[in-house]
Chains A and B, each alone.
Chain A
Amino acid sequence: MDKGKKETVLELSNVSFSYGENLVLDDATFKVERGDFAGMIGPNGAGKTTLVKLIFGLLALDRGSIRLFGTDVGKFKEWQRIGYVPQKATSFDQNFPATVFEVASMGRFPKAGLMRQLSREDYMAVEKALGVVGMLELRNSRIGDLSGGQQQRVFIARALAAEPELLILDEPTVGVDAEAQHSFYSLLRQLNRELGMTLLLISHDVGMVAKNVNKLVCVNIKVTFHDISKGINKADLSCAYPAGMELVPHHHDRAVK
């Protein structure tokens, strides 16, 4: 990838949003470039999910602008370029009658278009995506019969099947055991490094995020932006927490300075 001239995939400028009188986001400015593994951290209720809804145009901005691939969010139409793994993806109805393959194939629906059947090419993309996340062998299993970690891989495959250029994951490790979380992060690293996928990972798990990403967005009404590709310091993380709270580093590859 040409390091000198990176394309800006997602850009927020002075974004503010309130629910009624309640200010949720104040003056958020940051950008994600092609090939980034960006992390967004902050405590629960800090406005992370609101930020995601704004990015997808599901809420209207009070102030500022959001640009996706250089196009203003209000005018953006190419949603298939952005993959989304929702918060609580695995809290769906566990009795829902759908196989792994059926769930992953949903990722191709927008590309195929309304009133159209999936094509051979679509099915191949679904198979490939299931292969990447290591779930191809379980393609005919019912989604509800899988473990939380396996289900999460299927939801990532669903997003990948659309062959997105940017993948946004909202709190994807909630309800997944520690071991599955570990292999989940190695899957994300693989997607980012080997397939060159641009990732935006939203999480309240500061430790795991800080350890894996090259850019960090801290959200706590105020939004701060940190390039941590060359190392990380306490100030990069403390932004997301109330003043005076101690950071306890644990299991880090990179020590907190």
Chain B
Amino acid sequence: MIEILQYGFMQRAFIAGMLIALVCATIGVFLVLRRMALLGDGLAHISFGGIAAGMFFNVYPLVSALAFSVLGALGIQKLKQMKVYGDAAIAIFFSFGLAIGVVLVSLSHGFNADLFSYLFGSILAVSETDILLILGVGIATLAALLLFYKELFYASFDEESAQAAGIPVGRLNTMLIVLTAVAVVLSMRIVGILLVSSFIAIPASTALLMRRSFKQTIVIAAAIAIMSVIVGLVLAYYMDLAAGGAIVLVLVAVFSAALLHTKLHAR
């Protein structure tokens, strides 16, 4: 355990992984309760276009991915306001982002392992710059969630009453999906584009099985996510596994155990 922390890349993976877990699990509780668990997946695919664009035009890929993801999030919100169904709006932008990515990849006649590191995550590829970006933006995202915690809670529970009480529900919804867009991009370095939504959907769904208060649900979701990152990274290091996959398998194992526990106790 001590040995594993001697390596710079493992230290970076732990720091980034735990912060991302905290941010995504918190956002996840709000999204899962709003039946928007797959929004993260959609935004991750949109940001694939951003990664490819970054590589093609020689821009720092996480920054171009952030731009694609946030613009995609705002676009989805805009389409919803124009009466396009929410899941269809996600599907449209999802395909759009992915198509841009595929076209750019074909134009450059294939990128290389670098692109794969974004698709599947690679802790070895997490650079000092990545860490600084993840820390800075991750902490800002967390601060925004904490500052608007009670309003997000109210609007998730009962949008109509929250609106009648003068809470700016529309702007809060936009903020939540923009924060999701940001969280997704931060996560892709560790778990990869294809597995990003796991951090959003699984810890929240596991915590919801425990039937606690709202505050406890968020704390439990965050704890499950952070613990899964630690266990997953340790397993990945000692068993030479892909870190993203290992973390997600741990998350699924915890969820399954919680589900089994609930089923047994329900009888």
Task: Give A54 Cβ to nearest chain B Cβ, in Å.
Answer: 12
The reply to whether A110 and B161 contact each other, CB–CB distance below 8 Å, is: no
Task: Give B11 Cβ to nearest chain A Cβ, in Å.
Answer: 33
Choose, from A91-99, A190-198, A217-225, A237-245, the stretch at the interface. A91-99
A112 at the interface (CB under 8 A from B): yes
The reply to whether B164 and A79 contact each other, CB–CB distance below 8 Å, is: yes
Contacts of A97 in B (CB 8 A): 29, 33, 207-208, 211-214, 216-217
Cα distance A102–B149 when bound, in Å? Answer: 12
B240 at the interface (CB under 8 A from A): no
Interface centre among B153, B160, B165, B211 (most CB of A within 10 A): B165
A256 at the interface (CB under 8 A from B): no
A115 at the interface (CB under 8 A from B): yes
The reply to whether A86 and B161 contact each other, CB–CB distance below 8 Å, is: yes
> Who on chain A is nearest to B165 by CB?
A110
Contacts of A89 in B (CB 8 A): 158, 161
The reply to whether A84 and B214 contact each other, CB–CB distance below 8 Å, is: no
With beta carbons under 8 angstroms apart, the residue of B164, B207, B215 that contacts A84 is: B164
B136 at the interface (CB under 8 A from A): no
B167 at the interface (CB under 8 A from A): yes
B163 at the interface (CB under 8 A from A): yes
Task: Give A247 Cβ to nearest chain B Cβ, in Å.
Answer: 32
Contacts of A117 in B (CB 8 A): 150
Contacts of A56 in B (CB 8 A): 163-164
B113 at the interface (CB under 8 A from A): no
B116 at the interface (CB under 8 A from A): no
Contact A106-B157, Cβ < 8 Å, known A80-B165, A99-B214: yes
A58 at the interface (CB under 8 A from B): yes
Cα distance A121–B148 when bound, in Å? Answer: 20
Contact with A along B105-145 (1 / 0, CB 8 A): 00000000000000000000000000000000000000000
The reply to whether A80 and B214 contact each other, CB–CB distance below 8 Å, is: no
- The interface size bin for chain A is 20 to 34
Contacts of B148 in A (CB 8 A): 114-115
Task: Give A141 Cβ to nearest chain B Cβ, in Å.
Answer: 10
A23 at the interface (CB under 8 A from B): no
A228 at the interface (CB under 8 A from B): no
Interface centre among B147, B158, B162, B215 (most CB of A within 10 A): B158
Cα distance A149–B29 when bound, in Å? Answer: 28
With beta carbons under 8 angstroms apart, the residue of B158, B165, B208, B216 that contacts A95 is: B208
Interface centre among B33, B154, B163 (most CB of A within 10 A): B154
Contacts of A146 in B (CB 8 A): none
A-B contact pairs, 25 of them (CB 8 A): A79-B166, A84-B161, A84-B164, A86-B158, A86-B164, A89-B161, A93-B33, A95-B211, A97-B29, A97-B33, A97-B207, A97-B211, A97-B214, A98-B153, A98-B157, A106-B162, A106-B165, A109-B154, A109-B167, A110-B165, A114-B147, A114-B168, A115-B147, A142-B212, A142-B213
Beyond A89-B161, A117-B150, 17 extra complex contacts between A and B, CB < 8 Å: A56-B163, A86-B161, A86-B164, A96-B33, A97-B29, A98-B157, A99-B213, A99-B214, A102-B213, A106-B150, A107-B165, A109-B150, A109-B154, A109-B167, A110-B166, A110-B167, A118-B150
| Shortest 10 CB-CB contacts between residues of A and residues of B | A79-B166, A97-B217, A115-B147, A99-B213, A84-B164, A106-B154, A110-B165, A98-B214, A110-B166, A56-B164
